[in-house]
A and B are shown apart, each in its own frame.
Chain A
Amino acid sequence: MTAIVTAEGLRKSFARRDPASPPVLDGLDLELEEGAVLALLGPNGAGKTTTVRILTTLLRPDAGRATVAGHDVVRDASRVRELISLTGQQVAVDDKLSGAENLTMMGHLAHLPRRAVRDRVDALLTAFDLADAAGRRVATWSGGMRRRLDLAAGLLTRPRVMFLDEPTTGLDPRSRQALWDVVRGVVADGTSVFLTTQYLEEADRLARRVALVDGGRVVAEGTPAQLKREVGEAGVELVLASPADAALVAPALAVPTPEGARVRVPTDGSVAHVRAVLSAVEATGVVPEHWEVRAPTLDDVFLALTGHAGQERAARPAGVAA
């Protein structure tokens, strides 16, 4: 088990532009194991993009050290660039070119042998289910297709590490699924993936390890299962008509009586358990206004691990590169 990406004590501040702003990265440490997927999970403004930009040689850290495959991202930047690919937060493809033209251009820029470009482009278009649209201008493509092309553009050279900055933000559920499949395929081919996301579910589905970032540092790190255990499992949530109703229902479910009208019962999500909970509620004669089984969300994770909601930071003014 070797680390392909490491970061130690990364610090970055844009204070020169805005003296009042706190540091964006405040001693960030992390490690991506070769062949694995690491998800950097955090709300808007947490410092995810800044971390990716440092690791992909676009930005120098003020302090700290980062390496890719043992090469320092500042001193050996050009060596690092030969080993990585970056698919940034924005889709970076040319709308006026066709899909095939976009990839061919990237193949030449990636300095593939001229004769290999065409085969590689065709293979990627097929693998990413874009072959049918390949001749059409990208401007006419859907958001999901554009994102897949964007990913493909990073794979012409078979990079050792692929950096994906919020690859599914703004995509509909189906395109998101398709993109996850693509990423799984990339990992199966041996590429390590460094992913940032705002979605707990995405981290859960794709990543072997998750690093939770907040305020420019990693506040928790572990497998998705470990993190969720810290937060607590899913729960049956009942919204009742009044606190009085809640006071009737809670004892029947063996949970503490809440202050409001909302009762939460931890569940393993099995049909048997959920049915048992609902039966117990029914037996009290109280009719809930609403109920649902809810998995912990990013907000729950944040609330549990940082003591504040994940959206709090998002309320700060958005920055230039946010």
Chain B
Amino acid sequence: MRYLLRDVTTMSVRGLRLVTRDLDAMITAVVLPVIILLLFVLVFGGAVDIGTGYITYVTPGVILLAAGFGAANTALAVERDMSSGMVERLRSMPVAAWTVLTGHVVASLVKNLASTAIVFGVSILMGFRPEATPWEWLAAVGVILLFVAWITWLAALVGVLVRSPDAAGGFTFGVMFLPYVSSAFVPVETLPTWLRGFAEHQPVTPVIETVRALLSGSAGPGGEAALAVAWCLGLGLVSMVAAGLAFRARR
């Protein structure tokens, strides 16, 4: 374990190189979020009346949606390592082979940080006027990254478990579903009753609400924020441990 830090660093460098050289992943990280943002604001912006400007309302949701898209790339990358012989080689070496997963997660966090910055940038150009203090900005980005960490560990778990790239790709649909059925794009009250219960009690809604409150400078030391952090930390830890165990078990 003397070399754990070095292994994690090496794997993170690898993960970042793989991501930045993967055209699919880069389009998903850089172009797609902007298109989605434009789509929501220009197409639905007029239809949804929530008092404030729709761009202010929808920006955090677009960021989380982008994280979901990006997670599919992570699942694919992990599946490739599992089936390409890379993991077999690592397992025959005196390294902690599971650090290959942390490499992909670190890469995903950095990639999403970039997506987040781009979405905020475009959104501000389009009229988004956050009133957050630097600390609130930091907290908002922190909550987003916690969410990304959870989704990415979940994606890593999926990548370890599935036995084909197609199955890994199918993961997208699962995680895309969560932001749609939350307060990301429309207020929960406007959802059909049978969805509302789910929307109010799933992790994306408190994460969205927390980020919104922080950015609008109206966050109190709220229970919503605690709930968001608890969800992301809890699910993130469960996903991480499950991914580690599945990685060990799959031979």
- Interface check B93, CB cutoff 8 A: yes
Residues of B within 8 A of A90 (CB): 84-85
- Interface check A153, CB cutoff 8 A: yes
**Cβ-defined contact, A109 with B17, below 8 A:** no
In the docked arrangement, what's the CA distance between A58 and B87, Å? 10
Within 8 A of B (CB), among A64-120: 78, 81-82, 84-92, 94, 96-97, 101, 105, 108-111
Residues of B within 8 A of A84 (CB): 92
**Cβ-defined contact, B18 with A96, below 8 A:** yes
In the docked arrangement, what's the CA distance between A87 and B88, Å? 9
In the docked arrangement, what's the CA distance between A163 and B93, Å? 12
**Cβ-defined contact, A92 with B21, below 8 A:** no
**Cβ-defined contact, A97 with B17, below 8 A:** yes
**Cβ-defined contact, A109 with B85, below 8 A:** no
- Interface check A57, CB cutoff 8 A: yes
A81-B92, A96-B22 known; A88 and B85 CB under 8 Å? yes
**Cβ-defined contact, B85 with A101, below 8 A:** no
In the docked arrangement, what's the CA distance between A89 and B89, Å? 10
- Interface check B90, CB cutoff 8 A: yes
- Interface check A44, CB cutoff 8 A: no
Q: Which residue of A lies closest to B87 (CB)?
A: A92
**Cβ-defined contact, A58 with B6, below 8 A:** no
- Interface check A56, CB cutoff 8 A: yes
Within 8 A of A (CB), among B1-41: 3, 6-7, 9-10, 13-14, 17-18, 21-22
> Within the complex, which residue of A59, A89, A110 is in contact with B85, where a contact is CB–CB below 8 Å?
A89
- Interface check B110, CB cutoff 8 A: no
Residues of A within 8 A of B93 (CB): 81, 85, 109-110
Residues of B within 8 A of A58 (CB): 88, 91-92, 251
- Interface check B138, CB cutoff 8 A: no
**Cβ-defined contact, A111 with B6, below 8 A:** yes
**Cβ-defined contact, A108 with B88, below 8 A:** no
In the docked arrangement, what's the CA distance between A111 and B96, Å? 12
Range class of the A interface residue count: 20 to 34
Residues of A within 8 A of B10 (CB): 105, 108-109
Residues of A within 8 A of B84 (CB): 90, 92
- Interface check B94, CB cutoff 8 A: yes
A94-B18, A105-B13 known; A86 and B94 CB under 8 Å? no
Q: Which residue of A lies closest to B91 (CB)?
A: A58
In the docked arrangement, what's the CA distance between A134 and B251, Å? 32
**Cβ-defined contact, A92 with B13, below 8 A:** no
A86-B88, A88-B89 known; A96 and B21 CB under 8 Å? yes
Residues of B within 8 A of A97 (CB): 14, 17-18, 21
**Cβ-defined contact, B86 with A57, below 8 A:** no
In the docked arrangement, what's the CA distance between A84 and B88, Å? 13
- Interface check B95, CB cutoff 8 A: yes
**Cβ-defined contact, B88 with A88, below 8 A:** yes
Residues of A within 8 A of B90 (CB): 109
A58-B251, A59-B251, A97-B14 known; A92 and B94 CB under 8 Å? no
B: residues with CB less than 8 A from A are 3, 6-7, 9-10, 13-14, 17-18, 21-22, 84-86, 88-95, 251
The 8 nearest A-B residue pairs measured at CB = A90-B85, A92-B85, A86-B92, A108-B10, A96-B21, A56-B92, A92-B89, A88-B85
